[in-house]
Chains A and B, each alone.
Chain A
Amino acid sequence: MASYSLTINNKTYNVEIKGETTLLWVLREHLGLTGTKYGCGIALCGSCTVHLDGKPVRSCTIPLRALKKDQKITTIEGLSQNGDHKIQKAWIEAQAPQCGYCQSGQIMQAAALLAKNPNPTREEIKTYMNGNLCRCGTYLRIVKAIEIAAGKTSANT
């Protein structure tokens, strides 16, 4: 057991836990931040995507002991105050989710994309989002939502 102080969504959380425990289990099962999802445990589906100092990472393969002090973690719960991040609004406009399980990860990945590249081409979107699986088949609407958020299109086109 070790003590960890984590900065998540601008709040400080203290946990007593083994350093090999992954960030995903800490978020979900210890801190109750269940918006971040478990899908594969080997960083191949992207359901567990969170931001570490603004960059998208797969929380299922990050043991707590690998985190550096003062690194800022952002989860879907901290992406916006009231679900009104432009990506979230575009997601609703495109009626993107179906079952919704992968969507937190998709949204965190897409938010990171637009923060880095506000005007991505369709190919850049596909490349950047390629690590996030969706079994319901919402990919086309995800592309559309990202293009809406980037101001390239609207839901009616």
Chain B
Amino acid sequence: MNKALSRREFLKTSGGVALLIGVSGILPQMISCKNKKEAQEIIEKHSLSAWVQLTNDGRVIIYNPAAELGQGSMTSLPAIFAEEMDADWSTVSVEFSPQVSAIYGSDKWSPNNKVMLTAGSRITYGYYSIMRQAGAQARYILMHSAAQLWKTPMKELSTTNGAVIDYQDGRSISYGELVPHLVMPEKLPEFSESEFKNPKNYRFIGIDQPRVDIPEKVMGTTRFAIDIKLPEMLYGVLERGKVHGASPKLNNESKILALEGVLKLVRFDYAIGIIAETLEQALAAKKLLDITWSEAPSSRFNSQECYKKYGKIATDQTTGKVIVNKGDIGSAIKSAYKKFTVDFKNDYVYHAQMEPLNAVVQVGKDGKSAEVWVGSQQGFDSKLGIPNYLGIPAENVKINLQYLGGGFGRRSMTDFVLEGTGLAREIAPRPVKLIWTREDDVSYGAYRPLTLQRLTAATDAQGHITGFSHCVVGDGGNLVASGIRIDYYDIPNKFAEWREVSEGIRLKHWRSVGHAPNKFAIECMIDEIATYFRKDPADLRRRLLAKSPRGLATLEKAMAISDWGSTIDVDRAKGIAFLERSGTFSTGVCEISVNSTTGKIKVHNFWSASDAGIVIQPDNVKAQMEGGILMGISSVLKEQLTVVNGQIQQSNFNDYEILRMADIPDNIETAIIESHEPPRGVGESGTPLVACAIANAFLKLTGKPLRHLPFSPERVLNVLNT
């Protein structure tokens, strides 16, 4: 009995995949975990830890390990699993998996380290193999069980749409009917590529399924963390400085504590926290705080004056951190027929996710445990830093992941989770809902860094690029350096470096990270060269992409669907850009016009073609490209966050405007290049195409370059009038 039970509970295979049959309802559960003891402990703690659960009434519950912030993983990952399991989609429902990275993590972030992190457009890429393997193993268990039930050799069985079938005898049994008869095989095979389903039989991969999260989203019943209400719950707010990192000195503590409903004040290094019975009481108290703020490293910083200093840094003889050094850039520039040197700039931008940051946290009375309800993009610590913050073991922290009202990189930071924990600790065991106001969210944001980029290119007499050098000056390492590589362009001499500055402004990944500013600079430089030599910019790129067939195919496709080169309205022009982001190659073409009186740029059409490898849900890929391009247009034409003497100058949508419906293009068309390569990311592929495509269209239309993001009407008028 013991032996049988232990086999049913826990089996290991060569690949480190363990398998468990639960007690009630018979739950085949697959668990990837290297450490058998740790897995066993996790299984005991989370009785439903698994990739899939079959219920007696025939429902198939698939667990999604990714956060859902609108990118559609809640549907696409289960679709991959269901494909190999051969499930009946009408019986499938999807739930978030527990936040336990040993079981649900992917090692596509760092080798041999499983991580749950929904960022960098890596979810489909990171989980494609895992979901296929787990789905195929689930199918294997079901077929094995049917073989035992029917006393038939397994090789005579197959599956179709949620049922095991026996071709020999013409009988079939649905997965639900098999639940009481499930038996674990002695050994669970690891499936190889040739053993997976033949793509010609696919029912879900490459075939649109309606997104599983949408019905609740149109009924208003989707639960975001901000919607959580717990018994005895209190409300928390923080007042943070307008200067990042400044420390507060509260001058009217007794007055605040005397206010109706205010229970506690909590000091943070950079903020004063208030806990109150109701949200309106907490917000009223926040307005009455009288705080003196200290100086901070950014106190003298002015975001519009720093470019002069950055220019000097770019001129300095000392190189920074070298990222690319191919061939001999120095000789290429020396021997150039024509040398181009151009500076590009970009101001800070803010995430502006529609759900302001918030978290609901409950700390145990003894301070030794915590439970959290949060919309997080997770992180290298799937417990979001709380164990370290409270000094308690990781297993004492439970994260209840909720839907995210947007993330765009901001929710992969845990500052707001720890703030909520800091408040809840002071009033344990009552739960606290921490809410950031929009003003908090804007002014204590963590922005995409401001940079200056100096590009130098060398060409021969025919206008062929022989050398390309890129120096980015800014704060934040990979935040400013991502996207600086142009491996796909056939240029013999390449050099790229990052020169560090630090201003004390909070920074974070922002959709496509450094790609948007860096590709803007690179792609505009190419058009400036093409314009000088009177070449078609698309032709110039065709030559540069000669050794990148996948990239070239997107260029040809985008040119075709945009009718590149055809004569259009004289008041309009088209611009083109090519790039790689998250392993996906994309070409974008936009068509714009400019109002020469107001300086306002209007984008009329945007076409794109992408090779993202195997596409799981084509319509969702299109939705991601549409959304990424619209966010790109918003950031390029409107968004600017400025700092004067360290003070963040914007506070809400009145002074930090984002794109509204009146300014959307007439049409966004997305073409997907068919591919058999593994899936790559698309969530961030649209956004970085926009700045360069618009600037290149502007150059074509007016003969003048736009070199400083955003292209606000004032800046555009300045350029037109010089």
Say yes or no: A135-B623 contact (C-beta < 8 A), given A25-B280, A44-B653, A76-B219. Answer: no
Interface centre among A18, A29, A32, A91 (most CB of B within 10 A): A29
Contact (Cβ within 8 A) B664 A103:
no
B contacts, CB < 8 Å to A: 69-72, 210-211, 213-224, 226-227, 229, 235, 278-280, 352-356, 403-408, 435, 437-439, 619-620, 623, 626-631, 634, 652-654, 658-662, 664-665, 667-668
Q: Is A45's CB under 8 angstroms from B653's CB?
A: yes
Q: Closest chain B residue to A47 by CB distance?
A: B354
> Does A118 sit at the interface, judged by CB under 8 A?
no
Query: Bound state CA distance, A145 and B172, in angstroms?
Result: 42
Q: Do B438 and A40 have beta carbons less than 8 Å apart? A: yes
> Residue of B at shortest CB range from A132?
B661
Question: Complex: how many Å from CA A40 to CA B661?
Answer: 17
Tell me, rounded to whole Å, the shortest Cβ–Cβ distance linking A19 to chain B: 11
As a 0/1 sequence over residues 83 to 125 of chain A, the CB contacts with chain B under 8 angstroms (1 = contact) are 1000010011001111111111001000000000000000001
| A35 in contact with B623 (CB, 8 Å) | no
Interface residue? A134 (CB, 8 A): yes
Interface range for A? 35 or more
Whether B438 and A41, one on each chain, are in contact in the complex, defined by CB atoms closer than 8 angstroms, is yes
B218 & A97 in contact (Cβ 8 Å cutoff): yes
A126 adjacent to B219 (CB under 8 Å): no
**With A44-B653, A95-B214, A133-B660 given, is the CB distance from A38 to B356 under 8 Å?**
yes
Closest to A33 in B: B220
Partner of B280 from the list A18, A101, A135 (CB cut-off 8 Å) is A18
Query: What's the minimum C-beta distance from A39 to chain B, rounded to whole angstroms?
Result: 5
| CB pair B437 A141 closer than 8 Å | no
Taking CB atoms, residues of chain B closer than 8 Å to A138 are 623, 626-627
Contact status B355-A137, CB under 8 Å: no
Contact partners of B221 in chain A: CB under 8 A: 35, 77
Nearest 8 interchain pairs by C-beta: A35-B220, A101-B405, A137-B630, A98-B70, A99-B70, A100-B217, A137-B627, A76-B220
**A3 contacts chain B at the CB level, 8 A cutoff:** no
The answer to whether A88 and B623 have CB atoms under 8 Å apart is: no
- Whether, in the assembled complex, A8 has its beta carbon less than 8 Å from a beta carbon of chain B, the answer is no
Q: How far is the CB of B94 from chain A (nearest CB, A)?
A: 15
Q: Which of B71, B213, B438, B668 has the most CB of A within 10 A?
A: B438
Q: Is the CB of A99 within 8 A of B69?
A: yes
Tell me the complex Cα distance, A128–B408, Å: 27
Subset of 10 A-B contacts with CB under 8 Å: A25-B280, A28-B227, A34-B227, A39-B356, A41-B652, A83-B219, A96-B214, A100-B405, A101-B224, A135-B352
Given contacts A25-B279, A41-B438, contact A95 B218 (CB under 8 A): no
Chain B residues, CB < 8 A from A76:
219-220
Report B-chain residues with C-beta under 8 Å of the C-beta of A88: 218-219
- Interface pair A140/B626, CB less than 8 Å apart: yes
Q: Which of A5-22 contact B (CB under 8 A)?
A: 18, 20-22
Interface of chain A, main secondary structure: loop
- A30, A99, A102: the one within 8 Å of B404 (CB): A99
B661 touches A83 (CB 8 A): no
- Cβ–Cβ < 8 Å partners of B210 in chain A: 92, 95
In the complex, what's the smallest C-beta–C-beta distance from A154 to chain B, in angstroms?
A: 14
The residues in A between 30 and 74 inclusive whose CB is less than 8 angstroms from any CB of B are: 30, 32, 34-42, 44-45, 47
* A139 interface neighbour in B216, B353, B437, B630, Cβ under 8 Å: B630
Q: In the complex, what distance in Å separates the CA atom of A84 from the CA atom of B30?
A: 38
Q: A98-B70, A135-B631, A136-B406 are in contact. Are A142 and B218 (CB under 8 A)?
A: no
Residue of B nearest to A87 (CB): B218
CA distance A44 to B439 in the complex (A): 13
Say whether, besides A25-B279, A130-B662, A99 and B355 are in contact (CB < 8 Å). yes
A143 at the interface (CB under 8 A from B): yes
Contact of B218 among A30, A91, A125, A129 (CB under 8 A): A91
Bound-state CA distance A8–B224 (Å) is 22
A140 touches B668 (CB 8 A): yes
Per the bound structure, the CA–CA distance linking A142 and B634 in Å amounts to: 17
- B661: which of A45, A104, A135, A142 is its contact (CB, 8 Å)? A142
In the complex, how many angstroms separate the beta carbon of A70 from the nearest chain B beta carbon? Answer: 24
A137 contacts B226, C-beta separation under 8 Å? no
Asked if A127 is at the interface (CB within 8 A of a chain B CB), the reply is yes
- Separation in Å of the B436 CB from the closest CB of chain A? 10
Least distance between A8 CB and chain B CB atoms (Å): 13
Distance A96 CA – B217 CA, assembled complex (angstroms): 10
For B667, list chain A residues within 8 Å (CB). Answer: 140
Q: Does A29 lie within 8 Å of B354, measured CB to CB?
A: no
Which residues of chain A have C-beta atoms less than 8 A from B70's C-beta? 97-100, 136
Closest to A76 in B: B220
Shortest Cβ gap from B638 to chain A (Å)? 12
List chain A residues, Cβ under 8 A from B619. 95
Within the complex, what minimum Cβ distance (angstroms) separates B219 from chain A? 4
Contact partner of A107 among B215, B218, B627, CB < 8 A? Answer: B218
State which of B353, B628, B664 has its C-beta within 8 Å of the C-beta of A126.
Answer: B664
- For residue A103, which residues in chain B have a CB less than 8 angstroms away from its CB? 217-218, 220
Instruction: Decide if A104 touches B664 in the complex (CB within 8 Å).
Output: no
Q: Which residues of B contact A135 (CB under 8 A)?
A: 352-354, 406, 408, 631, 658
Which chain B residue shows the least CB distance to A99?
A: B70
User: CA separation between A135 and B355, bound complex, in Å?
Assistant: 10
CA distance A79 to B1 in the complex (A): 57
B437 → chain A, closest Cβ, in Å? 6
Q: Which residues of B have CB within 8 Å of A35?
A: 219-221
Given contacts A97-B217, A132-B661, A135-B406, contact A21 B626 (CB under 8 A): no
| A93 → B minimal CB distance (Å) | 9
B220 touches A36 (CB 8 A): yes
Shortest CB distance B64–A (Å): 15
Docked pose: A88 CA to B217 CA in angstroms: 9
Cβ of B417 to closest chain A Cβ, rounded Å:
18
Across the interface, do B654 and A141 meet the contact criterion of CB distance under 8 Å?
no
Closest to B219 in A: A83
Min CB–CB distance B84 → chain A (angstroms): 25
Contacts of B352 in A (CB 8 A): 135
When the two chains form the complex, which single residue of A20, A98, A127 contacts B623, counting CB atoms closer than 8 Å?
A98
Is A38 touching B226 in the complex (CB atoms < 8 A)?
yes
In the bound complex, what is the Cα–Cα distance between A24 and B220 (angstroms)? 14
Q: A38-B226, A40-B438 are in contact. Are A29 and B278 (CB under 8 A)?
A: yes
Which residues of chain A have C-beta atoms less than 8 A from B72's C-beta? 98
